[in-house]
Amino acid sequence: MNLVYAFAIAAQMGCGVYLLLSRHGVRILLGIVLLSTATNLLIFVAGGLRFTAPPVIEQGMRMLGTETANALPQALILTAIVIGFALVAFAAALMLKTYRSVGSVLTSDHTDAEALGSPFDKEALRDA
Amino acid sequence: MPEFLAGTELFWPLAIPLATAAVCAAAWAYPRLQQAASLVGLVLTLVASLVLLQIVLSEDIVTKQFGGWAPPFGISFVADRFSAAMVVISSVLALAAGIFAIADLRRRQVKAGFYPLFQGLMVGVNGAFLTGDIFNLYVWFEVMLIATLGLITLDRTRAQLDGAIKYAVLNLFSTILFLMAIGLLYGVTGTLNMADLARVLPQTEGSVALTVSAMLFLLAFGIKAGFFPLFFWLPASYHTATIIVSAVFAGLLTKVGVYACFRVFTLLFEVNEGGIRPIVAFFAAGTMLFGVFGAAIQWDVRRILSFHIISQIGYIMLGLAIATPLAMAGAVFYIIHHIVVKANLFFVAGAIHRATGTYDLRKAGGLMKSSPLLAVLFLIPALSLAGIPPLSGFWAKFMVIDASFRGDMAWLGALALVVGLLTVFSMSKIWIEAFWKTSPRKVARVRAVPVAMLVPIAALGLITLAIGFNPEPLVAFANVAADTMTDPAQFIAAVFSEPRIAGVTP
Amino acid sequence: MQIIFPTMSRLFFILMIGVSLYMLFRGHNEPGGGFIGGLIAALGFALLAMAHDVGAARRALMVHPVALMGGGLLLSFVSGLPGLLSDQSFLTHWWLEIGSLHLGTATTFDIGVYCVVIGGVLCLVFRLYEGIEQ
């Protein structure tokens, strides 16, 4: 079972990294999404894979039974999902905004930051 | 502090920025109210952090369990000397930035949400310094990341959007690595509390998962802190933000990464084991060298300074690479000195921009004549950064380089000296171009620099001078801080001695 | 000219707000809670924005999303303060038992989260929709 999960995570990570290396902004974004879901799976596997009951306290009981799942990895994953959701949403909005103002999602066209005070700025060199 | 609040010191440096952020966001339509609330919040945070420092000085380590759940189940918050000092210095910097903002911030930028985001950033920074739980540290990193993304795109210019994308993608990648490291660590040890980890890990057999986890931590914090092969996002994005934001980022963000690195590699993993030390040494050398080389070719003040952040991070990592208590003390001293000096240099850059209307050194000039006060105020942090005695940078560099010659890494010390020389080159470049050179423009348009800008610059300059002329107390402090930091037993004892029982009756 | 969707969206909006409030208070002892409730409510507002325009959704929300977020954050923060008085630790919750009813500061915390989630999501959703409308 662990091995199946390991391969699934590896495949997902591989796809994520491949997309991350792309020049296309949206693909980079999708790569990040894939990587973060793969990481969530990794935490899930790290918590131990066993067939157990869900970690919910039964009616009338004060404690969890002995054969219940570990609730902590699930809590961690939930936190990571929520945070990842916010960040990816923000990044998507950022990419959209950039596309509107620069007119391209290709990172090779995103050169405005480096252009500030560039040592190769012809106009400024003439002034100096 | 009133009687009924005793025992809550750790809470306030976190709570006050959080409450201020909430108030600033709630007062969305009233920029004036936001400004006032923000200033009040910053002053209160500084007071709270000073109180915390005072208590840490007498009690060594203060711990707190939020919600009253006993460790290792609850989330611990821990302040030792190192973290308390970081909280104090970041609060000082934040207050300086808040004052600077009065003069520099435009109405549009306030309306874009500067104040709530800025306070949110402070929540994240202080949280990261004070937490004693590795997953909680991840959460604070994300809080910081969201706030910084908002801050960096405050004006929504093309350059800012461009910088923000690079910043966002690489930092998201870094937090994913961080999360993976946490997942692996949890898989091996079954706990996330740092004190508990420090207790469990020495008894755990070394495994591939642990080694990978350590490497992932190093990479994740390396991206955050701007180590040598991973720093490219930093000079591509920091200079695009508005200058207050740049200054706060430059002062604090990379240092949070460095801080996390120090915590993890003193408390959880031994630097001496598993070949981490040569890697850190290699990173430190590359970081110093390439940062300073990168700066040499640049003409934008902010980009020069951004590259210098990287080279200075190298000096701090030097401390971790040598890993003797002396070197650690040097690193602690260096971080404190560097936060003050680097932020101050960015503030000066803002003042230069206000006076000459440009950040480009080729177009600036003539400031020596028009505003000599600014020239002096620039000279203090600039010389301190380069390590000229008797300023704070000299003592900081002296401590780490001395430690490297005493340790077994003399080559790193030698390299650090060379890099110091190159730093002088960059600083003198700014000095000559912006201050000495006559202005290249026909009509010299020199605007006055407002007092609200000069006050924080002068205040931070005074701190630099004070450390420089009287380094003894801080050196002693750094030594004790390094001792506490390199001795996990104290940390563990402090967290687990908390006499509270788990569980609150529902 | 659409007819069915805008008309039904009003109905669905009210339904979704109702469900979100149910989710919010159900989260007390059972699966649910402020986060999920907030997401459902935000979806309701997003539906309004989609069926009519962002202006209609903004009017329905009445306050600016960021202000709602700030208010929610403040509420959550304040709900943790009583714990400081009882045992000096933030977020130790106080409880009130009235018969079988079970109220506590944790509920206030959840309501705060609910507001923060609505504000945060709508902040982004409105921005994106306005971009499309332009």
Nearest beta carbon to residue C127 from set A82, A86, A93: A93
- Cβ B155 vs Cβ B166: under 8 Å: no
pLDDT value at B224 more than 60 = yes
Mean pLDDT of chain B: 89
Which chains have 3+ CB pairs within 8 A of A?
B, C
Residue range(s) defining the domain that contains residue C125: 4-133
Residue range(s) defining the domain that contains residue B437: 7-496
Specify the number of domains making up chain C.
1
Please tell me the predicted confidence (pLDDT) of residue B65.
Answer: 82
Q: Is residue B2 part of a domain?
A: no
With bands split at pLDDT 50, 70 and 90, how would you rate the model's confidence at B24? very high
Task: Report the sign of the C-alpha dihedral through residues A37, B120, B116, B2, in that order.
Answer: positive
Instruction: Centre a 10 Å sphere on the Cβ of residue B55 and count the other Cβ atoms it contains.
Output: 18
Please tell me the predicted confidence (pLDDT) of residue B333.
Answer: 94
* Chain B residue numbers touching C82 (CB-CB < 8 A): none
Q: Which residue from B minimizes the CA distance to C116?
A: B22
Distance from the Cα of C121 to chain A's closest Cα (Å) equals: 8
Q: What is the pLDDT of residues A2-38, one digit of tens each?
A: 899 999 999 999 999 999 999 999 999 999 999 999 9
* Chain A residue numbers touching C131 (CB-CB < 8 A): 96-97, 100
* Mean pLDDT value of segment B145-169: 91
Task: Report the sign of the C-alpha dihedral through residues B46, B47, B50, B55, in that order.
Answer: negative
* Whole-number Cα distances in Å, B126 to B193, B241, C88: 18, 22, 19
* Whole-number Cα distances in Å, B387 to B380, B381, B430, B459: 11, 10, 16, 20
* Mean pLDDT value of segment B430-453: 81
pLDDT value at B99 more than 90 = yes
Please tell me the predicted confidence (pLDDT) of residue B60.
Answer: 87
Phi, psi of B65 (to 5 degrees): -110, 115
Contact with chain B for residue A125, Cβ under 8 A: yes
Amino acid type, A46: A
Contacts (Cβ under 8 Å, ≥6 apart) of A62? none
Rounded CA-CA distance B317/B321 in Å is: 6
The count of CB pairs under 8 A between chains A and C is: 11
Specify the number of domains making up chain B.
1
| B116–C66 C-beta distance less than 8 A | yes
3-state secondary structure B52-111: HHHHHHHHCCEEEEHHHCCCCCCCEEEECHHHHHHHHHHHHHHHHHHHHHHHHCCHHHHH
Rounded CA-CA distance B446/B432 in Å is: 17
Please tell me the predicted confidence (pLDDT) of residue B1.
Answer: 58
| A121–B161 C-beta distance less than 8 A | no
Higher pLDDT pick, A105 / C99:
A105
Please report the residues numbered 4 through 63 in chain A whose beta carbons come closer than 8 angstroms to any beta carbon of chain B: 20, 25, 28, 32, 35-36, 39, 42-43, 45-48
Instruction: Centre a 10 Å sphere on the Cβ of residue C81 and count the other Cβ atoms it contains.
Output: 14
Q: Among residues B313, B166, B356, B290, which one has the least CA distance to residue A114?
A: B166
3-state secondary structure B233-281: HHHHHHHHCCHHHHHHHHHHHHHHHHHHHHHHHHHHCCCCCCCHHHHHH
Q: What is the pLDDT of residues B28-83, one digit of tens each?
A: 889 999 999 999 999 999 999 999 999 999 888 888 887 777 777 888 899 999 99
Residue-level length of chain C: 134
Phi, psi of B43 (to 5 degrees): -65, -45
- Cβ C106 vs Cβ C27: under 8 Å: no
Higher pLDDT pick, B229 / B272:
B229
Q: Among residues B149, B160, B36, which one has the least CA distance to residue B98?
A: B36
Angle subtended at Cα B68 by Cα C88 and Cα C26, rounded to the nearest 5 degrees: 115
Rounded CA-CA distance C86/B7 in Å is: 12
Considering only CB atoms, which residues of chain C are within 8 Å of chain B? Answer: 64, 66-67, 69-71, 73-74, 77, 83-85, 87-93, 95
Q: Among residues C119, C105, C128, C101, which one has the least CA distance to residue C41?
A: C119
pLDDT value at A120 more than 80 = no
Tokens of A113: 């930051």
Please tell me the predicted confidence (pLDDT) of residue C100.
Answer: 67
Q: What is the pLDDT of residues B308-323, one digit of tens each?
A: 999 999 999 998 888 8
Q: Is residue B273 part of a domain?
A: yes
Contact with chain C for residue A75, Cβ under 8 A: no
Rounded CA-CA distance B471/B448 in Å is: 34
Quote the percentage of chain B above a pLDDT of 90: 59
Q: Where is average pLDDT lowest: A12-16, B111-115, B128-132, B206-210?
A: B206-210
Q: Among residues A94, B329, B139, B18, which one has the least CA distance to residue C69?
A: B18
DSSP category for residue B193? B
- Cβ B311 vs Cβ B291: under 8 Å: yes
Distance from the Cα of A49 to chain B's closest Cα (Å) equals: 11
ipTM for the whole complex: 0.92
Q: Is residue B27 part of a domain?
A: yes
HSE-CB of B89 using CA atoms within 13 angstroms: 30
**ω into B2 cis (within 30 of 0):** no
Q: Is residue B234 part of a domain?
A: yes
Phi, psi of A69 (to 5 degrees): -70, 160
As a dihedral over the C-alpha atoms of residue A112, residue A114, residue A118, residue A122, rounded to 10 degrees, the angle is: -40
Rounded CA-CA distance B318/B334 in Å is: 10
Q: Is residue B501 part of a domain?
A: no
* Chain B residue numbers touching C73 (CB-CB < 8 A): 18, 21-22, 25-26
* Chain B residue numbers touching A116 (CB-CB < 8 A): 159, 239-240, 300, 302-303, 359
Amino acid type, B30: Y
pLDDT value at A90 more than 70 = yes
Please tell me the predicted confidence (pLDDT) of residue B82.
Answer: 93
Distance from the Cα of B194 to chain C's closest Cα (Å) equals: 19
B268-282, B329-343, B478-492 — which one is most confidently predicted on average? B329-343
Tell me the helices (H) and strands (E) count for chain B, helix number first: 22, 2
Q: Among residues B144, B155, B157, B141, which one has the least CA distance to residue B21?
A: B144
Tokens of B469: 């002329």
Residue-level length of chain B: 506
Chain position carrying tokens 């301190």? B384
Contact with chain B for residue A76, Cβ under 8 A: yes
Phi, psi of B82 (to 5 degrees): -60, -50
* Whole-number Cα distances in Å, B52 to A100, B9, B81, B119, B131: 47, 6, 10, 19, 14
Nearest beta carbon to residue B183 from set A35, A46, A128: A46
Tokens of B181: 């490291």
Q: Is residue B506 part of a domain?
A: no
Tokens of C39: 């997401």
Q: Which helix (DSSP H) or strand (DSSP E) does residue B316 occupy?
A: helix B301-322
Rounded CA-CA distance B491/C9 in Å is: 57
| B159–A115 C-beta distance less than 8 A | yes
Query: Residue A89 burial by CB count (10 A; 0-12/13-18/19+): exposed, middle or buried?
Result: middle
Higher pLDDT pick, B130 / C27:
B130
Rounded CA-CA distance B79/B60 in Å is: 8
Q: Is residue B505 part of a domain?
A: no
Which chains have 3+ CB pairs within 8 A of C?
A, B
Ordered by where they begin, the domains of chain A are: 2-51+70-127 (1.10.287.3510)
Higher pLDDT pick, B22 / A68:
B22
Q: Is residue B42 part of a domain?
A: yes
